[in-house]
Chains A and B, each alone.
Chain A
Amino acid sequence: MIVCVNCGVELDEGMKVCPLCGNDPGKKVEKETDSHIYPSDIIQLQKKENKKYLWELSGIIAFSGIAGCTVIDLLISKELKWSLLSDVSILTAWIILTIYLFSNKRRWTIFTLLMLTTLAALFLIDLITTGREWFFPVGLPLAVTAFILAGIVIILYKRVNLKGLNIIASIFIAISGFCVVTEMVLDEYFKGAIDIRWSLIVSVSILPVALVLFFYHYRLKKGNRLDSFFHI
C-alpha cells in the first residue's frame, strides 16, 4: 500500500506520481514549489482568463473600427486621409489597454510603456498631419515633462506614509510646473523667444492653494484620509 506523504491518500501499487497532488508520493513537497492547482488557484485562473477574453474582445472591436474607418475613408475620399488619424488613435487606445491588462500591475513597466506608446502616437499623428513639424519642438518636450511630473507624484504617493491632501497639493504643484514648461515650449516654437506670462498667473493662483492643503494636512489633520474626506 502506498500512501502519498503530501496529501495522505492511498494509491494503487506502482503509482509513481500521486494523481491528486501531482507529486512523487514518497517525497514531501513544500507548497511554494508545488505546481498543483488548489481550489483557491481557480479564481486566479478565472482572472487570467477574463483578462484574455477582454483583450481578445477589445482587439476585435479595435481592428474592426480601424478596418471600418479605412474602408469608409477610401470609399468617400478615394484615398487615406482622416482615417489615418482615427486608426492611430484606436490602435494607441488598444495598446494602452493591452499594457494595463498584461503588465501584472508592475508600476514602472506600465509607466515606461505608456510613455513610449504616447510618444509614438504623437510622432505618427505629426507625421500624418504636418509631416514631422511639431513633434520634436513641442510634442516630445511636453509629453516627456508630463510623464516626468506624473512620475514624481507617483513616487511621492508611494513614499509618503500619510496620504491625503498632501497628494492633491503635489498634483497642483505639478500642474503649475507643467503650465510653465508648456508656455516656455510654445513661446520658443511660435515666437522664438521665451516670455513667461499666463503660466505665472496660473502658478501664483495654484501654489497658495497647495500650501494651504499642505498646512491643513500636516499641521491640522495629521493625514486626513481622502476617502473619508470626500465621502458622500
Chain B
Amino acid sequence: MKAIKEKSYQERGWLALDNAAKLFPAIISEDLTSVFRITATLKAPVRYSAIKEAVEITSKRFPYFSVSLGSGIFWHFLEFNDQLPRIQVEEEIPCTAFAVKRISEPLYRVLIKNKRISVEFIHILTDGVGALEYLKSLLYTYMTLIGRKILSPGEIILPGMPISGDEFEDGYNKFFKKLPPPSKLVKAWHLPFRLNKKPRLRLICAEVNVNEMLEVSRKHKVSVTDYFASVYLFSLQKIFLLHGEKNKKEKREVLRLEVPVNMRNKFPSRTMRNFSLFVLPEVDMRLGTYTFEEIIRSVHHQMQISTDIKQISRFLSSNVSNEKLLIVRLMPLFIKKLVIAAIYRKLASKRWTGMVTNLGRVTLPEEMEELIDSFELIPPPPNKKVKIVSGVISYKEKLRICFCNTTQSRELERSIFKHLLDDGIHVKILNNY
C-alpha cells in the first residue's frame, strides 16, 4: 500500500508545497534566504571522491529533495527532477540564496571545506529534522565508502532502504482538524541595533560543554532549551532596559522568542518535509522587570503549556485553515505572493524579538562517532526586524550555539555568553568564520 503511495507521488511528477513552505517563495530574497545549514566536522580532511559518490548514492534515497520550484496559476509546486545537489566549496558567508527561479535548480547543496561537510537546505524543502536525517545518511555512506565498517547503523536512513510514501506526506494537512484560533499576540519589541551593510550576515559560534549545561538546567528543573531560552530572554531584558527608553514612540514592551517545535514528536508522522511549528515564550515588560529565576520559571511553564498537543494544534489549525479558504485558493499566484509578503511584513516578523532553534542531540553509531568531531546548526538569516537569531545543536559532550547577527552590535551574544559563564558553563568562541 505504502509502496503504491510512494510510486504515485513520483509518477505524478510534482508535490504541492506544505503549509510552512508556502510562505517562503513569497518572502525570499538575497538577504532573507530562508536557507539553513547543518555542518558535521570530521576528524580528518574530507575525501573528495568519496563524498562525491556518497552524495550521488544518498540523494537517490531522498527523492523528495530532488525537486525544483515550479510556478502554477494558483500555487507554487515542487517538480521532481534527477538533479543532484551541487557539491561546492564552503564560502565565508553561510546560507546564501538559492536560485529558485532557475529551471531544474536543486534546492539543497553540499558544501565542503577542510574537515567540514555541510548541507544547506532551503526551508521550502524541509526543516532541520529532515536535513539532519539527510546529513546522517550522507555521513554513513561516506564513511562506508572510505572503508569504515558500521555494524549497527541504528535509525539512520540507509541508501538501500525502501522509500516510504510517509516520507513525502504533508504533515500539516494530514493532521489538520478545525479548531478555534489561538489568541492574538501583542506586537513584540525589536532590538534597536543598527544593521550591517550588505551582505549583512555575521556569525558568532560558541561551544559549551553539554554536561555543564545539563547540570545547570537540571538545577533549575528545566530542559536545556528552556534554560537557554530563559538566558536569551533575560539578556533581551537587559538590552531592553538599556535601550528601550530611547524610542518612546514604540509601545512594544513584550520580549518574545520563537522556539520551533518538531511536530513529529507530537503526531505519528515520518515525513521528511517541513513539519514543525513554534511556541512563543515571552516576558511582558509592562508588568515590571524580572529576575532570572522568575523568567526561567515562566518560560518553563509557558513551554509546557504551549507544547501541549491541544494548544499547538490550534496553531496548526489556524495556519492550515488560511490556505484552505476558497478565496485564498482561487487567488492568482502573483497576487497571493504580494498578499503573503505584505502580511509577513506587517504581522509575522513583528510577533517575536528573537529565535532559538534547538535541533537537540545528534546520536550516531559508535563507529561513526569516532570519525566525527562536532555538529553545528546555522539558522536561516533573520529579517530586518528580528536581526539576530540562534541555532543550537549538541553532539556527544559538545553543544554548539551559533548566532546569525545582521547588526553592528554584539551586545546580545556578549550578555548571553557572560550569563552562561556566570552560571559556571565554560564557553569557547569558535574561529570557523
Known contacts: A39-B88, A40-B96, A45-B99. The answer to whether A8 contacts B45 by CB under 8 A is yes
Residues on B with beta carbons closer than 8 Å to the beta carbon of A42:
86, 98-99, 102, 105
Task: For the complex formed, measure the closest distance between the CB of B92 and the CB atoms of chain A, giving whole angstroms.
Answer: 9
Inter-subunit contact A43/B99 (CB<8 Å): yes
Binary flags per residue of A37-59, CB closer than 8 Å to B gives 1, else 0: 11110110110011000000000
Binary flags per residue of B78-114, CB closer than 8 Å to A gives 1, else 0: 0000000011111101001111011001000101111
Known contacts: A38-B88, A38-B89. The answer to whether A7 contacts B98 by CB under 8 A is no
Known contacts: A10-B48, A39-B91. The answer to whether A20 contacts B112 by CB under 8 A is yes
User: For residue B46, which residue of chain A has the nearest CB?
Assistant: A9
Inter-subunit contact A39/B111 (CB<8 Å): yes
Chain A interface residues (CB < 8 Å from chain B)? 3-4, 6-12, 18-21, 36-40, 42-43, 45-46, 49-50
A39 to B30, CA, bound (A): 12
Q: Which of B14-72 contact A (CB under 8 A)?
A: 30, 44-49, 51-52
Inter-subunit contact B48/A20 (CB<8 Å): yes
Residues on B with beta carbons closer than 8 Å to the beta carbon of A3:
45
Q: Does B127 contact A (CB under 8 A)?
A: no
User: For residue A4, which residue of chain B has the nearest CB?
Assistant: B48
Residues on B with beta carbons closer than 8 Å to the beta carbon of A21:
89
Known contacts: A11-B48, A39-B109. The answer to whether A49 contacts B102 by CB under 8 A is yes
Interface pairs A-B: 10 shortest CB-CB: A8-B114, A46-B99, A40-B96, A10-B45, A10-B47, A7-B89, A42-B99, A9-B48, A39-B96, A46-B102
Known contacts: A20-B89, A40-B91, A45-B99. The answer to whether A9 contacts B105 by CB under 8 A is no
User: For residue B199, which residue of chain A has the nearest CB?
Assistant: A40
Choose among B93, B99, B112 the residue that contacts A9 (Cβ–Cβ < 8 A).
B112
Choose among A19, A43, A45 the residue that contacts B52 (Cβ–Cβ < 8 A).
A19
Extra contacts, 6 of them, besides A12-B48, A37-B88, A46-B102 (Cβ < 8 A), are A9-B112, A19-B52, A20-B87, A21-B89, A38-B88, A40-B93
Inter-subunit contact B46/A10 (CB<8 Å): yes
Residues on B with beta carbons closer than 8 Å to the beta carbon of A45:
99, 102
Residues on B with beta carbons closer than 8 Å to the beta carbon of A4:
48
Task: For the complex formed, measure the closest distance between the CB of A214 and the CB atoms of chain B, giving whole angstroms.
Answer: 32
Q: Does B76 contact A (CB under 8 A)?
A: no
Q: Does B115 contact A (CB under 8 A)?
A: yes
Q: Which residue, B52, B96, B109, has most C-beta atoms of chain A within 10 A?
A: B96
Task: For the complex formed, measure the closest distance between the CB of A222 and the CB atoms of chain B, giving whole angstroms.
Answer: 22
Q: Does B120 contact A (CB under 8 A)?
A: yes
A3 to B44, CA, bound (A): 11
Known contacts: A8-B113, A9-B46, A9-B47. The answer to whether A39 contacts B120 by CB under 8 A is yes
Residues on A with beta carbons closer than 8 Å to the beta carbon of B101:
46, 50
Residues on A with beta carbons closer than 8 Å to the beta carbon of B46:
8-10
Task: For the complex formed, measure the closest distance between the CB of A65 and the CB atoms of chain B, giving whole angstroms.
Answer: 24
Secondary structure class of chain A's binding surface, majority of residues: loop
Q: Which residue, A3, A19, A45, A46, has most C-beta atoms of chain B within 10 A?
A: A46
User: For residue B33, which residue of chain A has the nearest CB?
Assistant: A43
Q: List 23 A-B contacts (CB under 8 A).
A: A7-B112, A7-B113, A9-B51, A10-B47, A11-B49, A12-B48, A20-B88, A20-B89, A20-B112, A36-B89, A38-B88, A39-B86, A39-B88, A39-B109, A40-B93, A42-B86, A43-B96, A43-B97, A43-B98, A45-B99, A45-B102, A46-B99, A49-B102
Number of interface residues of B (CB under 8 A): 30
Residues on A with beta carbons closer than 8 Å to the beta carbon of B44:
10
A40 to B99, CA, bound (A): 9
Inter-subunit contact B45/A9 (CB<8 Å): yes
User: For residue A11, which residue of chain B has the nearest CB?
Assistant: B48
Inter-subunit contact B114/A38 (CB<8 Å): no
A209 to B101, CA, bound (A): 47
Task: For the complex formed, measure the closest distance between the CB of B377 and the CB atoms of chain A, giving whole angstroms.
Answer: 18
Choose among B30, B49, B51, B111 the residue that contacts A43 (Cβ–Cβ < 8 A).
B30
Residues on A with beta carbons closer than 8 Å to the beta carbon of B113:
7-9
Inter-subunit contact B96/A9 (CB<8 Å): no
Task: For the complex formed, measure the closest distance between the CB of A36 and the CB atoms of chain B, giving whole angstroms.
Answer: 7
User: For residue B106, which residue of chain A has the nearest CB?
Assistant: A42
Task: For the complex formed, measure the closest distance between the CB of A231 and the CB atoms of chain B, giving whole angstroms.
Answer: 15
A45 to B30, CA, bound (A): 13
Residues on A with beta carbons closer than 8 Å to the beta carbon of B90:
7
User: For residue A6, which residue of chain B has the nearest CB?
Assistant: B89
Residues on A with beta carbons closer than 8 Å to the beta carbon of B48:
4, 9-12, 18-20
Residues on A with beta carbons closer than 8 Å to the beta carbon of B112:
7, 9, 20
Residues on A with beta carbons closer than 8 Å to the beta carbon of B97:
40, 43
User: For residue B98, which residue of chain A has the nearest CB?
Assistant: A42
User: For residue A7, which residue of chain B has the nearest CB?
Assistant: B89
Inter-subunit contact A8/B102 (CB<8 Å): no
Inter-subunit contact B47/A38 (CB<8 Å): no
Inter-subunit contact A7/B114 (CB<8 Å): yes
User: For residue B91, which residue of chain A has the nearest CB?
Assistant: A38
Choose among A9, A11, A19, A36 the residue that contacts B114 (Cβ–Cβ < 8 A).
A9
Task: For the complex formed, measure the closest distance between the CB of A46 and the CB atoms of chain B, giving whole angstroms.
Answer: 4
A8 to B116, CA, bound (A): 9
Residues on B with beta carbons closer than 8 Å to the beta carbon of A6:
89
A20 to B49, CA, bound (A): 10
A10 to B117, CA, bound (A): 13
Residues on B with beta carbons closer than 8 Å to the beta carbon of A40:
91, 93, 96-97
